[in-house]
Amino acid sequence: MGNATQASSTLRVDRDHLKCVKGEIVFARRAPDEEAPACILPNYESYPMVMYDVPIRNARPIMDELSLDKEGFILTHHKTACADVRDLELMRERYVDEMVPFIKNHFNASWVVPFRRTIHLRRAAGAAVPKGGWNTAAAGARGPGGFAHIDYAPVAAPMIAARESQHEGVPIRPYSRLMLIQAWRALSPPPQDIPLAFCDATTVRDTDIAIADYVSDAQNKAATTTKNLVSRFNPDHRWYYFPDMVADELILFKGYDSDDHYKLWSPHSAFDDRRTYANAKARESVEARFFVYYE
């Protein structure tokens, strides 16, 4: 009986037969003659983009198989006291204070520095991505990003981490490993109209990734440029999402890892899922980023 139980518990789900939906995602153009609809994205006007309708698998049946060091993203449970908070400044205090101990314990880290200025409250407001506007009228709110990307290029992440330590008053000291961990949580009830999707890092090749300049507030004199990564379309990619998320569920995904042994590319993107849920609720979410250090 024990052997039978053990055998059944180790059976792996056939990922090719997971239930999936279709979602439009924008990618960096791979070649001038690429046959796909052209797109122009805010803050990336100089970088040619194209759109594809891709299958996106339901990852809930395999959530226990996923790994940050393999696929690049996981779903975990973490109760929050900030589910009803929509004030950005309050979220940057209360939510960060709640999350830092959790992140430190979850990763058994030596210390954690929050990237407080990039706590983002986002509201989809039922607008298609990326055809509709991403900016909303809500103070402190931002729209979802409907293109396949990784927020920071490897060359940029350590410099940003050092800058953020200075900003937080944390002494800069030697470390053996640095990770950028991003935490995403849906605050609105399910089903959400524009959820977040992730590409399985094991299906992404180096040639699928390109460095791009992200220009924030391009019309402003105080515009800043950050190097991040954009993904080119590859039909071999496997995209996943977690439908019907609730506020006490948390997606963790890796944006950077200084350990070459864990080198991986896991692009993410929002997508419009109203073909599946015509009456889905406008997605509200919070994203937080943390620099995780090991002595």
Q: How many of the other CB atoms lie within 10 Å of CB of 125?
A: 20
| Tens digits of residue pLDDT in 240-278 | 999 999 999 999 999 999 997 667 889 999 999 999 998
Give residue 8's pLDDT band: very low, low, confident or very high (50, 70, 90): very low
Encoded amino acid at 147, one letter: F
Q: In whole angstroms, give the CA distance from residue 233 to residue 231.
A: 6
Read off φ and ψ for residue 164, nearest 5 degrees: -70, -35
**CB within 8 A of 134, min separation 6: which ones?**
42, 127, 142, 143, 144, 145, 146
- Of 71-85, 211-225, 270-284, the poorest mean pLDDT is in 211-225
Section 156-181 average pLDDT? 94
Helix (H, G, I), strand (E, B) or coil at 161: helix
Section 22-48 average pLDDT? 89
pTM of the model: 0.87
Q: What share of the chain is helix, strand, coil (3-state, %, to 5)?
A: 20, 35, 45
Among the residues of 124-205, which ranges form H helices? 157-168
Among 143, 128, 135, residue whose Cα is nearest residue 271 = 128
Among 139, 249, 127, 120, residue whose Cα is nearest residue 190 = 249
Q: In whole angstroms, give the CA distance from residue 182 to residue 145.
A: 15
Radius of gyration of the chain (CA): 19
Segments making up each domain of the chain, as ranges: 20-59+72-294
| Tens digits of residue pLDDT in 140-156 | 344 456 899 999 999 88
pLDDT over threshold 50, residue 67: yes
